[in-house]
Amino acid sequence: MCGIALLASGIRIDLSSLHIDSISPSSKTHLGFSFNDLKAALQRRGPDSLGTKKLLLLHSNNSNSGNSWVSSVNEEAHVLENGSNLSESFAELVFLGATLQLRGVTPVIQPLVDSSGNILVYNGELFGGIEVGSDNNDTEILMQSLGKCCSQEHRTTYNFNGHGKGSVPDVLSVIKGPWAIIYWQESSKTLWFGRDAFGRRSLLVHWPTMEDPRFLLSSVSPTSSSLQDFEVENGTSGIKFWEELSCGIYTMSLDATKSDGKFLGEMQKHEWTNVMLKELIEWERVSIEPKPEELNFSRSKTLSAELDMTSASLVSVLAQNVLTALRESMMRRVSLHSIYQAVKFGARQKETVPVAVLFSGGLDSMILAALLDECLDPDYEIDLLNVSFDGESAPDRISAKAGIKELRRVAPLRRWRLVHIDADLSKLTWETKHVLSLINPADTYMDLNIGIALWLAARGEGWICEESSNRIDEDKHVNYTSRARILLVGSGADEQCAGYGRHRTKYKHESWLGLHEEMKLDMQRIWKRNLGRDDRCIADHGKEARFPFLDEDVIRTLLDIPLWEVADLDQPSGKGDKKILREVAQMLGLHDAAILPKRAIQFGSRIARESNRKNFGSNRAANQASAGSVVINVPSYFS
């Protein structure tokens, strides 16, 4: 996990190919944040190291120079706060990288610069597609792979296979895992940037305007700019300074000859080159509408399994495929040889908890906890992080306490630690303002409520029940802060397995095809509605969110299953929704969790109830106002 950013000044940028209006007057207000503000925001994400590199582009007086301009890389010294005063005779690109190192055995400081002058800042993991040795850091391996790439103009005609030459899109298209990247390719004088096809890592963009002509990329919005951005949103045009960068691979190709000696940057978006990845993005399922006999057979199998849960012969082959894919996904994400902090001192730190679970005790988090137990060395404890805004009475707290009992039954040798994270919304004024900066450009009460709950969970400050003599004293509370640097989150389960109430509504009105289209829509917009926001809130504590349900192989496995085997929404809640995952839970011995209904974090933790009372007077008034989608009015929120 890293915080990455780019500040580009002195470049006239052509956005026509992206269908974005550049330099549009009075569209956005210039927001005041300093370079130090940006560094501070990034270093909260990457507390292990912070580095900067400045690429200076200068016109050359050498007539033999092919491009009539040269570039040089320097350690950052002084950065102009607003590019509008930059001389037209040169341009600068400032790269920033703050690192939370989770792989490799030696420290790595970003940005990386290779012998060819290429520059890389990378926020991601290589879980497949490009081989990473057990002692290697994935950013360094990626830099080597990118360094072998030819320029886009001279790309080869065959797809990159992880070893030979190819284009930058070839390399990025084969990566399995979450990523966001900013990469300067010196040979072609091209800036590459983008994020993975599902948007599992945040990357924000500021397109140049009259008020602020810089081109900016950042993992997160600096705090000092964010509240201003909300005020601009509520007070004028509704166009924000920062936007979520759409998933994909982009370039800014620089040229100093097409604009009377001024530097011109031409933006372009590139196609993914991996056929299998394109299929996942299109999210098409072969079998959507069942024949009557297929649906009857599926339901008869489900009924038989319910009557005889112990019968191995009744185990669904399809559910077994999902379980296998999820188990492999978990192993890729928690294998100890790839967790830097567990090996950097030369010996395993058994008192360290390397991985924690965002835990409600619901179906998704119970599956993740059980799989983590299977994949993580039994010497390590596992923290289960549970947030409540209603003490022991919140639904998620009740289900979490029931869930840990079931986990102790199926995995009695593991030391499970339920971390009770209690909060009072009325006392979180500073925290709320801070989370507002993290969710930006998301701006609704629902975004804020979810963001606060995730931020508190990632912080990990709460209490646990005392353990002594192999016994847990429920009455003795001990303050505790989880130090786990990897946090497992269940994102993607509801979108892929019809877990939301709107899925049931869509199915009721438009049957199987309507359900499929709604699920497809959810998967294709998850980057904008969920993942960027969630990544920013969790990473703010120097923690990395990992999403086992959004592993490429898990997505492929679920798409290969007929829709009526994934979900059967003619059945009641807690049975037909996420049917395939309920079968997986049964296989893991989680019989109680397998029948739990869906409950979103904002409702299960009861932060939505407290927010509704604070901002709308009551839950009823909030429901009438459709509070979840209402844009936050910052001045009135804190009045």
Query: Residue 291: CB partners within 8 Å, gap ≥ 6?
Result: none
| Rounded CA separation 94/72 (Å) | 12
- Whether 537 sits among the annotated catalytic residues: the reply is no
pLDDT at 123: 96
Q: How many residues does the chain have?
A: 639
| Rounded CA separation 477/576 (Å) | 39
Domains of the chain: 3-20+35-75+87-273 (3.60.20.10), 310-334+352-599 (3.40.50.620)
- Tell me the pLDDT tens digit for each residue of 254-277: 987 655 667 899 999 999 999 999
pLDDT at 81: 54
- Tell me the pLDDT tens digit for each residue of 185-226: 999 999 999 999 999 999 999 999 888 899 999 999 998 655
* Contact present, 219 and 2 (Cβ < 8 Å): yes
Buried b / exposed e along 574-611 (16+ C-beta atoms within 10 A)? ebbbbbbbbbbbbbbbbebbbbbebbbbbebbbbbbbb
Q: Which of 521, 591, 520 is nearest to 558 (CA)?
A: 520
pTM score: 0.91
The more confident residue out of 507 and 160 is: 507
Mean pLDDT for the stretch of residues 119-144: 92
Residue 229 token pair:
């951005």
Residue 433 CB coordination number (10 Å)? 16
| Rounded CA separation 353/405 (Å) | 20
- Tell me the pLDDT tens digit for each residue of 305-349: 666 655 444 558 999 999 999 999 999 999 865 565 444 444 444
| Rounded CA separation 625/140 (Å) | 50
The more confident residue out of 86 and 304 is: 304
User: Which residues lie across from 481 on neighbouring strands?
Assistant: 461
| Rounded CA separation 373/298 (Å) | 31
| Rounded CA separation 55/486 (Å) | 33
| Rounded CA separation 88/210 (Å) | 16
- The torsion angles phi and psi of 403, rounded to 5 degrees, stand at -65, -40
Q: Name the strand (E) or helix (H) holding 436.
A: helix 429-439
Radius of gyration of the CA atoms of the chain, in A: 25
Q: Which of 128, 585, 598, 127 is nearest to 371 (CA)?
A: 585
> Residue type for 599, please?
R
Tell me, rounded to whole angstroms, the distance of Cα 271 from its chain centroid. Answer: 21
DSSP state of 578: T
Residue 149 token pair:
């790439």
In 113-222, which residue ranges form alpha helices assigned H by DSSP?
Answer: 138-147, 168-174
Lowest mean pLDDT among 323-327, 487-491, 621-625: 621-625
Question: Does position 573 have pLDDT exceeding 60, yes or no?
Answer: yes
